Amino acid sequence: QAELGLNEHHQNEVINYMRFARSKRGLRLKTVDSCFQDLKDSRLVEETFTVDEVTDMLDGLQTVVHSEVESELINTAYTNVLLLRQLFSQAEKWYLKLQTDISELENRELLEQVAEFEKSEFTSSSKKVENRNIVIKVIKIKTYIFAFDLFLFMKADVNQDITELENKVAALKCQFEKTLNDSTANQKSLEENLVTTKHDLLKVQDQLSTAEKELEKKFQQTAAYRNMKEILMKKNEQIKDLRKKLSKYVVLF
Protein backbone atom coordinates (compact mmCIF):
# COMPACT_ATOMS: atom_id res chain seq x y z
CA GLN A 1 0.00 0.00 0.00
CA ALA A 2 1.29 3.42 -0.98
CA GLU A 3 2.24 5.76 1.88
CA LEU A 4 2.67 9.53 2.13
CA GLY A 5 5.40 9.54 4.76
CA LEU A 6 3.03 10.76 7.51
CA ASN A 7 2.12 9.33 10.86
CA GLU A 8 -1.14 7.39 11.20
CA HIS A 9 -3.16 10.32 12.54
CA HIS A 10 -2.11 12.74 9.81
CA GLN A 11 -2.53 10.12 7.11
CA ASN A 12 -6.10 9.53 8.28
CA GLU A 13 -6.72 13.27 8.07
CA VAL A 14 -5.45 13.22 4.48
CA ILE A 15 -7.76 10.31 3.70
CA ASN A 16 -10.74 12.24 5.09
CA TYR A 17 -9.90 15.21 2.90
CA MET A 18 -9.47 12.99 -0.16
CA ARG A 19 -12.84 11.42 0.53
CA PHE A 20 -14.37 14.90 0.67
CA ALA A 21 -12.61 15.91 -2.56
CA ARG A 22 -13.74 12.72 -4.35
CA SER A 23 -17.32 13.41 -3.37
CA LYS A 24 -17.21 17.00 -4.64
CA ARG A 25 -15.47 15.89 -7.83
CA GLY A 26 -18.12 13.27 -8.50
CA LEU A 27 -20.93 15.79 -8.08
CA ARG A 28 -19.26 18.26 -10.42
CA LEU A 29 -18.69 15.61 -13.09
CA LYS A 30 -22.36 14.71 -12.94
CA THR A 31 -23.18 18.36 -13.50
CA VAL A 32 -20.92 18.50 -16.57
CA ASP A 33 -22.48 15.31 -17.92
CA SER A 34 -25.93 16.83 -17.49
CA CYS A 35 -24.85 19.82 -19.60
CA PHE A 36 -24.20 17.53 -22.55
CA GLN A 37 -27.39 15.57 -21.91
CA ASP A 38 -29.44 18.76 -21.83
CA LEU A 39 -27.99 19.74 -25.19
CA LYS A 40 -28.94 16.37 -26.67
CA ASP A 41 -32.47 16.56 -25.31
CA SER A 42 -33.20 20.19 -26.22
CA ARG A 43 -31.28 20.86 -29.44
CA LEU A 44 -30.56 17.57 -31.19
CA VAL A 45 -34.11 17.05 -32.38
CA GLU A 46 -33.45 17.18 -36.12
CA GLU A 47 -31.54 14.86 -38.43
CA THR A 48 -29.44 17.52 -40.17
CA PHE A 49 -27.88 20.80 -39.01
CA THR A 50 -26.07 23.61 -40.74
CA VAL A 51 -22.54 24.62 -39.80
CA ASP A 52 -23.86 27.75 -38.11
CA GLU A 53 -26.34 25.74 -36.06
CA VAL A 54 -23.65 23.29 -34.89
CA THR A 55 -21.32 26.18 -34.09
CA ASP A 56 -24.06 27.88 -32.09
CA MET A 57 -24.76 24.70 -30.10
CA LEU A 58 -21.08 24.12 -29.35
CA ASP A 59 -20.60 27.73 -28.29
CA GLY A 60 -23.52 27.46 -25.91
CA LEU A 61 -22.22 24.17 -24.50
CA GLN A 62 -18.74 25.65 -24.11
CA THR A 63 -20.14 28.57 -22.12
CA VAL A 64 -22.05 26.31 -19.74
CA VAL A 65 -19.20 23.83 -19.22
CA HIS A 66 -16.68 26.67 -18.84
CA SER A 67 -18.85 28.19 -16.11
CA GLU A 68 -19.20 24.87 -14.29
CA VAL A 69 -15.48 24.09 -14.40
CA GLU A 70 -14.52 27.62 -13.39
CA SER A 71 -16.94 27.47 -10.48
CA GLU A 72 -15.47 24.17 -9.30
CA LEU A 73 -11.87 25.40 -9.61
CA ILE A 74 -12.69 28.52 -7.62
CA ASN A 75 -14.51 26.50 -4.98
CA THR A 76 -11.57 24.08 -4.75
CA ALA A 77 -9.12 26.95 -4.29
CA TYR A 78 -11.24 28.51 -1.54
CA THR A 79 -11.65 25.12 0.13
CA ASN A 80 -7.89 24.63 0.18
CA VAL A 81 -7.47 28.09 1.70
CA LEU A 82 -9.88 27.13 4.51
CA LEU A 83 -7.91 23.92 5.06
CA LEU A 84 -4.63 25.84 5.27
CA ARG A 85 -6.28 28.32 7.63
CA GLN A 86 -7.16 25.48 10.02
CA LEU A 87 -3.60 24.16 9.98
CA PHE A 88 -2.01 27.60 10.42
CA SER A 89 -4.40 28.50 13.25
CA GLN A 90 -3.47 25.36 15.14
CA ALA A 91 0.23 26.03 14.55
CA GLU A 92 -0.04 29.60 15.80
CA LYS A 93 -1.47 28.36 19.10
CA TRP A 94 1.88 26.65 19.63
CA TYR A 95 3.80 29.67 18.33
CA LEU A 96 4.89 27.78 15.22
CA LYS A 97 5.44 29.29 11.77
CA LEU A 98 4.68 26.84 9.00
CA GLN A 99 6.08 27.24 5.50
CA THR A 100 4.82 25.93 2.17
CA ASP A 101 6.70 25.16 -1.03
CA ILE A 102 4.40 26.06 -3.93
CA SER A 103 6.77 24.45 -6.44
CA GLU A 104 6.15 21.05 -4.85
CA LEU A 105 2.48 21.31 -5.84
CA GLU A 106 3.48 20.66 -9.46
CA ASN A 107 5.98 17.91 -8.73
CA ARG A 108 4.86 15.16 -11.12
CA GLU A 109 6.48 12.40 -9.10
CA LEU A 110 4.74 13.48 -5.91
CA LEU A 111 1.43 13.90 -7.71
CA GLU A 112 1.68 10.36 -9.06
CA GLN A 113 2.48 9.16 -5.55
CA VAL A 114 -0.69 10.81 -4.25
CA ALA A 115 -2.70 9.30 -7.11
CA GLU A 116 -1.33 5.85 -6.30
CA PHE A 117 -2.11 6.36 -2.62
CA GLU A 118 -5.71 7.31 -3.42
CA LYS A 119 -6.15 4.31 -5.71
CA SER A 120 -4.64 1.91 -3.19
CA GLU A 121 -6.48 3.29 -0.17
CA PHE A 122 -10.00 3.49 -1.60
CA THR A 123 -9.77 0.23 -3.57
CA SER A 124 -8.62 -1.73 -0.52
CA SER A 125 -11.25 0.00 1.63
CA SER A 126 -13.99 -1.17 -0.73
CA LYS A 127 -12.76 -4.76 -0.43
CA LYS A 128 -12.66 -4.45 3.38
CA VAL A 129 -16.27 -3.29 3.43
CA GLU A 130 -17.30 -6.19 1.19
CA ASN A 131 -15.50 -8.72 3.39
CA ARG A 132 -17.13 -7.36 6.54
CA ASN A 133 -20.56 -7.56 4.94
CA ILE A 134 -19.91 -11.22 4.13
CA VAL A 135 -18.88 -11.88 7.75
CA ILE A 136 -22.13 -10.33 9.01
CA LYS A 137 -24.19 -12.47 6.62
CA VAL A 138 -22.40 -15.65 7.74
CA ILE A 139 -23.04 -14.80 11.42
CA LYS A 140 -26.73 -14.20 10.74
CA ILE A 141 -27.09 -17.48 8.85
CA LYS A 142 -25.37 -19.43 11.63
CA THR A 143 -27.59 -17.75 14.22
CA TYR A 144 -30.77 -18.69 12.34
CA ILE A 145 -29.59 -22.28 11.92
CA PHE A 146 -28.81 -22.52 15.64
CA ALA A 147 -32.23 -21.11 16.56
CA PHE A 148 -34.05 -23.48 14.21
CA ASP A 149 -32.20 -26.54 15.54
CA LEU A 150 -32.96 -25.46 19.11
CA PHE A 151 -36.62 -25.00 18.26
CA LEU A 152 -36.90 -28.49 16.74
CA PHE A 153 -35.14 -30.04 19.73
CA MET A 154 -37.44 -28.45 22.30
CA LYS A 155 -40.58 -29.13 20.29
CA ALA A 156 -39.92 -32.86 19.87
CA ASP A 157 -41.95 -33.86 22.96
CA VAL A 158 -44.84 -31.62 21.97
CA ASN A 159 -45.00 -33.23 18.53
CA GLN A 160 -45.49 -36.66 20.10
CA ASP A 161 -49.08 -35.85 21.14
CA ILE A 162 -49.82 -34.47 17.69
CA THR A 163 -48.46 -37.64 16.13
CA GLU A 164 -50.85 -39.75 18.18
CA LEU A 165 -53.81 -37.73 16.92
CA GLU A 166 -52.58 -38.04 13.35
CA ASN A 167 -52.40 -41.83 13.77
CA LYS A 168 -55.98 -41.83 15.03
CA VAL A 169 -57.07 -39.89 11.94
CA ALA A 170 -55.27 -42.38 9.73
CA ALA A 171 -57.05 -45.29 11.43
CA LEU A 172 -60.44 -43.65 10.92
CA LYS A 173 -59.62 -43.11 7.27
CA CYS A 174 -58.86 -46.80 6.89
CA GLN A 175 -62.16 -47.63 8.55
CA PHE A 176 -63.92 -45.20 6.24
CA GLU A 177 -62.46 -46.83 3.15
CA LYS A 178 -63.20 -50.33 4.46
CA THR A 179 -66.84 -49.39 4.96
CA LEU A 180 -67.05 -48.14 1.39
CA ASN A 181 -65.67 -51.42 0.07
CA ASP A 182 -67.90 -53.67 2.13
CA SER A 183 -70.36 -54.91 -0.49
CA THR A 184 -72.17 -57.32 1.90
CA ALA A 185 -73.67 -54.60 4.07
CA ASN A 186 -77.10 -53.34 3.17
CA GLN A 187 -77.56 -49.88 1.76
CA LYS A 188 -79.13 -48.36 4.86
CA SER A 189 -76.49 -49.70 7.21
CA LEU A 190 -73.80 -48.60 4.81
CA GLU A 191 -75.12 -45.05 4.72
CA GLU A 192 -75.37 -44.93 8.52
CA ASN A 193 -71.82 -46.18 8.92
CA LEU A 194 -70.58 -43.72 6.37
CA VAL A 195 -72.24 -40.80 8.13
CA THR A 196 -70.99 -41.91 11.56
CA THR A 197 -67.45 -42.55 10.35
CA LYS A 198 -67.28 -39.27 8.48
CA HIS A 199 -68.59 -37.44 11.53
CA ASP A 200 -65.94 -39.05 13.73
CA LEU A 201 -63.26 -38.22 11.18
CA LEU A 202 -64.22 -34.55 11.06
CA LYS A 203 -64.40 -34.44 14.85
CA VAL A 204 -60.92 -35.88 15.26
CA GLN A 205 -59.54 -33.55 12.58
CA ASP A 206 -61.01 -30.62 14.48
CA GLN A 207 -59.49 -31.96 17.69
CA LEU A 208 -56.15 -32.27 15.93
CA SER A 209 -56.27 -28.66 14.72
CA THR A 210 -57.29 -27.42 18.17
CA ALA A 211 -54.61 -29.51 19.85
CA GLU A 212 -51.92 -28.14 17.55
CA LYS A 213 -52.93 -24.59 18.39
CA GLU A 214 -53.06 -25.31 22.12
CA LEU A 215 -49.73 -27.11 22.10
CA GLU A 216 -48.14 -24.26 20.17
CA LYS A 217 -49.58 -21.78 22.67
CA LYS A 218 -48.35 -23.84 25.64
CA PHE A 219 -44.97 -24.25 24.04
CA GLN A 220 -44.58 -20.49 23.69
CA GLN A 221 -45.30 -20.16 27.43
CA THR A 222 -42.66 -22.70 28.46
CA ALA A 223 -39.32 -21.74 29.97
CA ALA A 224 -37.59 -23.47 27.06
CA TYR A 225 -39.31 -21.17 24.56
CA ARG A 226 -38.47 -18.10 26.62
CA ASN A 227 -34.85 -19.25 26.85
CA MET A 228 -34.70 -19.72 23.09
CA LYS A 229 -36.20 -16.27 22.55
CA GLU A 230 -33.69 -14.75 24.96
CA ILE A 231 -30.83 -16.48 23.14
CA LEU A 232 -32.05 -15.10 19.80
CA MET A 233 -32.31 -11.60 21.26
CA LYS A 234 -28.74 -11.85 22.57
CA LYS A 235 -27.54 -13.05 19.17
CA ASN A 236 -29.26 -10.10 17.48
CA GLU A 237 -27.64 -7.71 19.98
CA GLN A 238 -24.25 -9.27 19.22
CA ILE A 239 -24.84 -8.70 15.51
CA LYS A 240 -25.81 -5.07 16.18
CA ASP A 241 -22.66 -4.54 18.26
CA LEU A 242 -20.56 -6.12 15.53
CA ARG A 243 -22.12 -3.83 12.93
CA LYS A 244 -21.32 -0.79 15.10
CA LYS A 245 -17.70 -1.89 15.41
CA LEU A 246 -17.41 -2.61 11.71
CA SER A 247 -19.03 0.71 10.77
CA LYS A 248 -15.92 2.45 12.07
CA TYR A 249 -14.00 0.93 9.17
CA VAL A 250 -16.67 1.42 6.51
CA VAL A 251 -15.68 3.93 3.84
CA LEU A 252 -18.49 5.98 2.32
CA PHE A 253 -17.89 7.39 -1.16
pLDDT in tens, the chain (253 residues): 457 888 989 999 999 999 999 999 999 999 999 999 998 888 888 778 889 988 999 999 999 999 999 999 999 999 999 999 999 999 999 999 999 899 888 899 999 999 999 988 888 655 556 545 554 554 554 444 444 454 555 555 555 556 666 676 677 667 766 765 665 555 566 566 666 766 776 776 777 677 677 766 766 667 766 777 778 778 778 777 777 766 665 444 4
- What is the sign of the dihedral through the CA atoms of 64, 69, 75 and 78? negative
Phi, psi torsion values for 138, nearest 5 degrees: -65, -45
Q: Is residue 28 within 8 Å of 73, Cβ to Cβ?
A: no
64 found inside a domain: yes
Task: Please say which residue of 84, 117, 138 terminates a domain.
Answer: 138
One domain for residues 120 and 239: no
Report how far residue 39's alpha carbon sits from residue 49's, in angstroms, rounded to the nearest whole number. Answer: 14
Same domain, 25 and 125: yes
Do 232 and 123 share a structural domain? no
Domain count for the chain, please give it: 2
Q: Which of 111, 138, 165 is the last residue of a domain?
A: 138
Angle at which helices 8-42 and 51-93 cross, to 10°: 160
Is the domain of 119 the same as that of 239? no
- Is the residue at 143 inside a domain? no
DSSP state of 6: -
Is 145 contained in some domain?
A: no
For residues 131 and 237, membership in a common domain is answered with no
Same domain, yes or no, for 12 and 112?
Answer: yes
Q: Which of 138, 156, 181 is the last residue of a domain?
A: 138
Name the nearest CA neighbour of 114 among 2, 28, 246. Answer: 2
Q: Give a yes or no: residue 195 inside a domain.
A: no
> Does 227 lie in the same domain as 116?
no
Q: What is the pTM of this model?
A: 0.46
Q: Residue 14: which domain range?
A: 8-138
Residues 6+ apart with CB under 8 A from 218: 158
Q: Which helix (H) or strand (E) holds 129?
A: helix 108-154
